[in-house]
Chains A and B, each alone.
Chain A
Amino acid sequence: MTAVHQAVVGAGPYDAVTEQVRAWRRLLAADGFAGTDHASHIDPRLRTGFRPLAELEPDHGDLVVIRYSAWSPALMALLDLPNPVLLVYHNITPAGYLWKHSPALAVQCAVGRIQLPAFARRARLVVADSDFNAAEMRTAGAADVRIVPILFEPERLAARGRPPAGAGPLVLVVGRIVPNKRHDRVLDAFAAYQGACAADARLLLAGEPLDPDYRRLVEGFVGACGARNVTIPGGLTQPELNAAYAEADVLLTLSEHEGFCIPLLEAFHFGVPVVASPKGAMPGIAGDAALWTDDDPAVTAELLDLAVRDPELRAELRRRGRVRLERFGAEATAAAVREAIALALD
């Protein structure tokens, strides 16, 4: 049977694209497809599942799925293969967020955006996981873009680890600690919330930092804005993250650039109200099931207070979140993945 191989630039723990590679692999294996998963950079903590991209040597007719979230020379080399290519666009962070903090990553992102049309031209089928990403692909020249959302697997969210310590309302922020997520604005808003509404509130910033230097920078913001009870544990294991969702009173995201934002769906799954900035793909994913804020930290603080203290509002947001989640049901998405694979192999 034809094999389906997947290629990404970076694979690591706590990474959404890596998780999608694994989720597709489980689905493909269940459907009888063989294949291997490859990455240009494999985090040493990731012990199994990925091979170096240079080792990808597909047989004639095998499908190569390129998951595009940054650029690497090895990824570019895949365009020269004679095999059919399915391009899955996960979005690329604008380099402007990264030039100062991680020049190497900024280069990957800048070149990634420049080369987007070349990947779009070469692909037999282009898939984006959100309307926002699809619009970017169309701008890059892809005439026909199919939407295949993130394959959301609720069973991952069952196991429970140790819950976060302490009492008081828990404001949860989930996502890599990188500049476009604007943890500086999160801390400003949380400090305002603590000062005006809930002195005993806790803030948990769950996510892998860009690097140790950037982590120190964000830790410095905590002291500068006067916030207390802030925990920055780094990446959490899935059971630990599940326990944090189960304990959380509200999920906050003030990210300025999101290609999808899986934490929105995870919060809906756990019935946690969401306060978010209406940027990137987030309005399209969360719709009317989130409280949308502006750039004023005081306004965000008041929205956090509403989301924590108003039981009827919480119940309504939970109800809307469940409705929203149905759009991203695993079965419907799995069917869309199968259809995309079949079209790309056709």
Chain B
Amino acid sequence: MTRPEQALAHARAEAARKRAAGGYTKAGAAALDDSIVSGPPSPELLSRWAVVEGDPRLLYSTRRAGGPITALKRLIVRLLRQYLADVESRQTRFNIALLAGMHELEGRIGALERAAEAGAADAGPGRPAGGPRAPARPAATGERPGGGSTDVPA
């Protein structure tokens, strides 16, 4: 009999023995690995998510014999398509503007961090650090470095 405590070691040994004999040729795809986001979503992923587009496959009913309900939902969405397209595009516009703002802030933070590191190196061990030298900020006119305006339209 294999004791429960011995089972894992036994299984590993048996798997290794069979692999050595040409068995267990497939490694296992773990197909979901790529879809699981660990930690904060990457900027690339955020860019993809920023574009809002409803998935028509999600128009369904969980009710028994829900076919007519699914058809009705699809009809309603079809009838509302101009309105929904407008809502989606407004949200997408906001998302993209927000991402652009975030990207700009990340750039400025990166520049500040690099300046702080350079300042610390310049100060040396016996001299007081002068603190970070901030990069030149854009003029407070609503103009962004990339040329876009941060003004909110009235």
* A binding-site residues for B, Cβ under 8 Å: 43-45, 95-97, 99-101, 103, 179, 182, 184-185, 188-189, 191-192, 195-196, 211-213, 221, 224-226, 288-303, 306, 310, 312-313, 316-317, 320
Contacts and interface: CB of A to CB of B under 8 A. Distances in A.
Contact of A301 (B15, B33, B37): B15
Contact of A188 (B1, B18, B26, B55): B26
Specify which of B4, B11, B49, B58 lies most central, judged by the most chain A CB atoms within 10 Å of its CB: B11
Interface of A is mostly: helix
Given A45-B62, A45-B63, A100-B37, A297 B28 contact: yes
Given A43-B62, A44-B62, A302-B14, A196 B8 contact: no
Nearest to B10: A306
Given A298-B19, A316-B4, 7 more contacts: A43-B62, A184-B32, A189-B28, A297-B27, A299-B12, A312-B2, A317-B4
Interface of B is mostly: loop
A7 B61 CA distance: 24
Taking residues whose C-beta sits less than 8 angstroms from the other chain, chain B's interface range is 35 or more
Contact of B26 (A191, A288, A290, A291): A191
A299 B15 contact: yes
25 contacts: A43-B62, A45-B62, A96-B37, A96-B38, A99-B41, A184-B30, A184-B31, A185-B28, A185-B32, A195-B23, A196-B18, A211-B58, A221-B31, A225-B26, A226-B26, A290-B4, A295-B30, A297-B27, A297-B28, A299-B12, A299-B15, A301-B15, A306-B11, A312-B1, A312-B2
A96 B7 contact: no
B64 interface: yes
B7 A313 contact: yes
5 closest A-B pairs by CB: A312-B1, A302-B11, A188-B28, A298-B15, A297-B28
Contacts of A297: 24, 26-28
Given A213-B58, A299-B12, A306-B11, A313 B2 contact: yes
Contacts of B3: 313, 316
Given A191-B26, A302-B10, A302-B14, A224 B31 contact: yes
B82 interface: no
A44 B32 CA distance: 30
Contacts of A225: 26, 28-29
B86 interface: no
B66 to A, nearest CB: 9
A293 B62 CA distance: 35
Interface of B: 1-5, 7-8, 10-12, 14-15, 18-19, 23-24, 26-33, 35-39, 41, 45, 49, 55, 57-58, 60-64
Contacts of B19: 298
A344 to B, nearest CB: 34
A186 to B, nearest CB: 11
Nearest to A95: B37
A294 B35 CA distance: 21
Contact of A310 (B1, B29, B36): B1
A224 B26 CA distance: 11
Nearest to B63: A44
Contacts of A43: 62
Nearest to B64: A45
Contacts of A103: 49
